[in-house]
Amino acid sequence: MQQTETAAPSFHEASKTTKLSRGVIRQCPACGSGKLFRRWFVMVDRCPQCDLKFEREPGHWSGALGINTIMSFGVLLITIIVSVIATYPDLPVGRLVAICLVVAICMPVFYYPLSKVQWTAIDTCMNPLRPGEVKQPWGPPPAHDDQGSKAP
């Protein structure tokens, strides 16, 4: 009987730079697949290509919430600073409040899907992919290999 045994399992886990770059453009940090959302707010549970489970542990999305909060307040702060500088000394307070309200409401909604993918990218950088967490060749093989089929 001829066995077509593969050599030592090989995989290529993406670099941290690649993972973070993929997060910026809403791609899976592990494999680069792009179809991660069914609708704007509805993310798939697992990557359709590499099978990475995006909610890697309970409470995973609190990091995405944190990123979204930081980015939203950052954009709001920049909006306030630019508006005040551009209109000083005659501040149109009513218009500035209206603009800031629009930014404060729209920015978290707009940034929501990006924050989830970016947080997953950051998380995979801090906590590398575990054996068997994704299909090969995007991550390490499962820990339980078939030891009995090795060639003598």
Is the Cβ of residue 47 or residue 103 nearer to Zn ion in the bound state?
Answer: 47
Of 32, 51, 28, 48, give the one whose Cα is nearest residue 120.
28
Give the footprint of Zn ion on this chain (CB under 5 A): 28, 30-31, 33, 47, 49-50, 52
Per-residue b/e over 54-71, b at no fewer than 16 CB within 10 Å? beeeeeebebbeebbeeb
Is the Cβ of residue 14 or residue 103 nearer to Zn ion in the bound state?
Answer: 14
Is the Cβ of residue 20 or residue 100 nearer to Zn ion in the bound state?
Answer: 20
What's the CA gap between 134 and 43, in Å, rounded?
17
What's the CA gap between 98 and 12, in Å, rounded?
49
Residue 9 Cβ, how far from Zn ion at the closest point, in Å? Answer: 18
Residue 44 Cβ, how far from Zn ion at the closest point, in Å? Answer: 10
Phi, psi of 11, deg, nearest 5? -150, 160
Place of tokens 């600073």: 81
Residue 118 Cβ, how far from Zn ion at the closest point, in Å? Answer: 15
Is the Cβ of residue 52 or residue 103 nearer to Zn ion in the bound state?
Answer: 52
Residue 152 Cβ, how far from Zn ion at the closest point, in Å? Answer: 37
| 42 within 8 A of 50, measured Cβ to Cβ | no
Is the Cβ of residue 49 or residue 68 nearer to Zn ion in the bound state?
Answer: 49
Residue 49 Cβ, how far from Zn ion at the closest point, in Å? Answer: 5
